[in-house]
Structure 1
């Protein structure tokens, strides 16, 4: 389309410029005048050489056709006998008379025919020939310009295709950081953009997989260390019991009790590990979300946790929200988050200080803040962080965010989740 429009514009410009130059030349030269003056002598020569009479219309017509750009009129006794406009020597047409005022016209010539003398009048249009030439040249040049433009644009596209081919080969070689060249705004540029987005997605996926691999490797290393300690102690206690190396029944009971504690510790770690891999191997689309009344659900979840905290000697400061809202979530997974959070509180928090819990709605976000004081003996405890990673994964699946912060002996959990605050009707 661009090539056609440019070619059409070029043709119009060539036509206007050529006609202007031709008109200027014709007005300044005697070229056309010379051609007009030579036309009558040429016709006289033709009539003389061929011994034409006024009845030889076909031969006269043949001369006019060869001469081109001439209109010929032949009169005899002031009557029109021949005309290139179609008049003949019929009785009706012979009534067309030559006006007496035209008998002395300088363009009117007497020519001797084989049968009589006649007056010949010619009209000339020689300049039309050159206007036609200008038009033909304009068409040819515009067409050639169109072809050149089309080939130019095709060459640009084929060159771009070659660039894309080379860049795709670079990506195939493993260099995914090489960017795809973006040119134009057509199907090829759209294809290049899609390839580039696919490249970025693949890089993100590889990075995510690498991060998961590193995290799993660190997790396995940490879990191996955490499992090895109680497992070694458990094996030692069982060996003492098996080979009866205890001193008395009281010592036996102590070893059995210690073995039981180590077995429960191993079970707790294995449950956490199983929970971690269950959550991380679950796709977001596999979770079936349901809608719940936010205030009722939060009251129910907190009541369950408050009972556990109070049974373990904690005091709770609770500030519930008052704005009605509804939330979509997978209840089992969401409950698991609170189980992990409050089990850590029971394990590491100081019962001498209050556990502060509050939530509210801010710009359609459910904001939950939980804070506690870490007990002294737990200050140096190094955890594998399986529970925290599990919570982050679950909240991420719910399109929310969770953050764990520690400031001295103060530990905080901040969770936010998108909810619907629109009023509901029952």
Structure 2
């Protein structure tokens, strides 16, 4: 816009100079013709002859030409200067933020086109600013889903895009805060329920013992044994809860190089007696070795112990647990597959949620707290890995992935 205006002014000045020069030349020709006619007319010719003999016609013509040039230039450029002043005043108001100002230039020449272009520009700018302002009002009122139109190629478009990003991030942060609050409430509710249940049983049996409401020592030992078993379950729940909280609060990690083939192989050997006791078989298959990752082995062993225990607990009817360690592109994949009862499809999305049990009665009977898989997921993801589960009528597979080191 500025370049176009300067270009227009330059050509306009050239035209004004040419017009003034033309006017001056015509005026001089007219004066010369009139003087020639009047030089022989008495008594008018007396001052003319005096000027010619004492001053000279050339100096007179030059003086008259200069005067006529400046007068004609002033008269011709008066309208042009007024238009420039109007544009200059308008530009100052616009630069001060009054984008609704309209430059009133009615000429149809280049100056008029420049003024019209400035008016169109300010009108568009004012409209876009109003859209941005309206969007900010909506965001200020809590409507974070509001999206301000982004016009590419302009600084205001960048501002609008930044506001949209800020709004999305703010909405995400608020949602995370709400989720954190809900998570805290759910955690308190879950902990309260799971602590109260065994504690109520323990207190009930201890009350029976305290009030001597048992028939003989056999019944006494029976009540004591139940209270002891409930106490062990309560301790396991508290230990798991402490472990889960510790991991999710930023447990310091001691990362080191870890060969997953040897790591899983050693873990499998440690569980052989447990599998034999349950009448099951554990089969490990490793495609190649070594397959190394960067991880905290002390923490990672807890995660895979949970997966092994889970396969042992719920895969009894299948008799076999298959463990596979393989390479998939640039990742190490470890899968645990059991052939017991499947996980219902409706439960798969929640299987890693804390205190979630697929079959509540069966989980409690087998000693599950509902925190094992949540702890496993936290450990895996804290160390940069991924964990997933898939299940059908034939088998259930838990799979972890880590980038190869």
* Match 1:311 to one of 274, 278, 289: 274
CA distance in 2, matches of 1:34, 1:354: 115
Residue of structure 1 in register with 2:88 after alignment: none
CA distance in 1, matches of 2:254, 2:116: 62
Does the Cα contact within 8 Å between 2:315 and 2:341 map onto a contact in 1? yes
TM-score normalised to structure 1 length: 0.66
Structure richer in strand, relative to its length = 1
Q: 1:256 to 1:391 in 2, by over 3 A?
A: same
Q: 1:150 to 1:164 in 2, by over 3 A?
A: same
Residue of structure 1 in register with 2:202 after alignment: 234
* Match 1:38 to one of 8, 11, 30: 30
Residue of structure 2 in register with 1:410 after alignment: 395
Tell whether 2:34 aligns with 1:66. Answer: no
Structure richer in helix, relative to its length = 2
Alignment of 1:14-413 (within 5 A): 38-44=30-36, 45=38, 48-52=46-50, 56-57=54-55, 60-67=58-65, 142=110, 145-146=113-114, 149-150=117-118, 152-282=120-250, 287-288=252-253, 290-293=255-258, 296-313=259-276, 314-322=280-288, 324-350=290-316, 353-374=319-340, 381-382=362-363, 385-408=370-393, 410-413=395-398
Instruction: Give, in angstroms, the shift of residue 358 of structure 1.
Output: 0.4
> Unaligned stretches of 5+ in structure 2?
40-44, 85-108, 343-357
Instruction: Give, in angstroms, the shift of residue 8 of structure 1.
Output: 5.3
Residue of structure 2 in register with 1:101 after alignment: none
> Unaligned stretches of 5+ in structure 1?
71-125, 421-426
Q: Please state whether the residue corresponding to 1:51 is helix, strand or coil.
A: helix
CA distance in 2, matches of 1:373, 1:34: 111
Q: 1:329 to 1:161 in 2, by over 3 A?
A: farther
Does the Cα contact within 8 Å between 1:315 and 1:353 map onto a contact in 2? yes
Does the Cα contact within 8 Å between 1:322 and 1:360 map onto a contact in 2? yes
Q: 1:34 to 1:197 in 2, by over 3 A?
A: closer
Does the Cα contact within 8 Å between 2:248 and 2:378 map onto a contact in 1? yes
Q: 1:336 to 1:203 in 2, by over 3 A?
A: farther
CA distance in 2, matches of 1:152, 1:52: 62
Instruction: Give, in angstroms, the shift of residue 238 of structure 1.
Output: 1.0
CA distance in 2, matches of 1:179, 1:305: 54
Instruction: Give, in angstroms, the shift of residue 266 of structure 1.
Output: 0.8
TM-score normalised to structure 2 length: 0.69
Instruction: Give, in angstroms, the shift of residue 309 of structure 1.
Output: 4.3
Instruction: Give, in angstroms, the shift of residue 264 of structure 1.
Output: 0.6
Q: State the number of aligned residues.
A: 344
